[in-house]
Amino acid sequence: MLQFLSVGSASQLGHAVARLTGLANLVDLAKHAGNAATRISTRRVKEIEAEIAQVAARYGESVDDLTRLLNEN
């Protein structure tokens, strides 16, 4: 039966063996880690960049206010 299995691809027999040997938990953990890495690298980076833009805008407003006050006095 091994001759009909292709290496590197998912099969029902491979999944069954993984479940029986306990390797399925490691496979699930690897999938979860991959999803978390994708979420961190895409969505979280965008959120951080938006926060940086907000901080930069507030900093610019403070600089403008300070410059105006210095010019008045």
In this model, does residue 3 exceed pLDDT 70? no
In this prediction the pTM is 0.46
Least trusted range by pLDDT, from 35-44, 46-55, 63-72: 35-44
Stretch 2-17: mean pLDDT: 63
CA Rg value for the chain: 27
State the pLDDT at residue 68: 94
Residues 49-63: pLDDT tens digits? 999 999 999 999 999
CA pseudo-torsion sign 47, 30, 6, 4 = negative
In this model, does residue 1 exceed pLDDT 60? no
